[in-house]
Amino acid sequence: MTPHAHLPTRGSELAVRYDLYSAFAYEVPEGGRQKVLTDLQVRVPTGGYYARIVPRSGLASNHGIQIGAGVVDEDYTGIIWVILFNMGSEVFSIKEGDRIAQLICEKIGLPQVEEVDALDPTECGSGVNGSTGCGETGN
């Protein structure tokens, strides 16, 4: 969209994620958040796809940087921006052109929503909060 935009890149031939780059310089305060513009528009493939914006593992492990609001629907054609949350104890500085997040294009199912009076019982039941850890206790 602007000269500040950087095309997404993959780190290797087999990488499934595309690196997203900041179009501008920002500072994310400790314990705060920042909307970071990429100045890119993308077109997600049609037919049950969406793009998901995820953290970069190095930023997460080294600086406590996490991502919020990370879904790009197939019919969204606006500018891609990323919400960065700084869970670290220091201000996190971003320079124009820094890699800030990664984008994954995923195929999904879009089932019809149906209202029912009750669900059929399963082996796990309802006491595990969506986990596959059936029968576990504690956290």
Using one digit for the tens of pLDDT, what is the confidence trace for 85-98? Answer: 999 999 999 999 99
How does residue 121 score in pLDDT terms, banded at 50, 70 and 90? confident
- pLDDT score of 7 more than 80: yes
Domain range 18-107, its CATH number among 3.40.50.150, 2.60.40.420, 2.70.40.10, 2.40.160.40? 2.70.40.10
The sign of the CA dihedral 9, 16, 61, 79 is positive
* pTM of this structure: 0.83
Q: Which residue has the higher pLDDT, 126 or 118?
A: 118
| Every domain of the chain and the residues it spans | 18-107
What is residue 98's DSSP assignment? -
Whether the predicted pLDDT of 128 surpasses 60: no
